[in-house]
Amino acid sequence: MSRHNSTTSSEGNVTMREHSQPQQAVPATVRRKSNMEEVQDELMHRLTLGRSAQKKFPVPCRGKQPTVSITYDSSPDDVRSWLETKGFSPVTISSLGVLTGAQLFSLNKEELRTVCPDDGARVYSQVMVQKAALEVFF
């Protein structure tokens, strides 16, 4: 923006004139993007890249872990093995590993929490999964 100042003096009066040129429109390619536009462009780029590249994450293979399940007929050794496979704490394994499958299935959630406060709820959940699996097969 340029200004042209002119001063006229006649009998002590000073008149100032300002001439300003209209601001030229800046082409869109030269204009700086706002932060929001930059974020939107990056998001669009990542979404587009994500669709085309389709990153594939490795799926954990469950075939390597032995499938151990318990039934009402399971021995204390079977129950202990099942508890170990499920990754329960040593205290839980020693406390519940002396029970048969039928005895373990007969315990409710509160009883399991009493015997093993840290793992009781999780043991109960896993026992319920085992019971449900048995019902499907019988």
Write the pLDDT tens digit of every residue in 74-104. 999 999 999 999 999 999 999 999 999 999 9
Q: Give CA angle at 82 (76, 84), nearest 5°.
A: 105
Extract the tokens encoding 14.
């000073």
Residue boundaries of the structural domains of the chain: 76-137
Report which residue type is found at 104. L
Please name the residue that has the structure tokens 């040129």: 21
**Residue 59 pLDDT level (bands cut at 50, 70, 90):** low
User: Which contiguous run of DSSP H or E holds residue 7?
Assistant: strand 3-10
Write the pLDDT tens digit of every residue in 114-135. 999 999 999 999 999 999 988 8
* CB within 8 Å of 23: residues ≥ 6 apart: 1
d(CA 131, CA 82): 14
pTM > 0.85: yes or no: no
Pair 115, 93: CB distance under 8 Å: no
CATH class of 76-137: mainly alpha
Higher-confidence residue: 29 or 9? Answer: 29
Q: Give CA angle at 64 (58, 69), nearest 5°.
A: 120
**Residue 6 pLDDT level (bands cut at 50, 70, 90):** very low
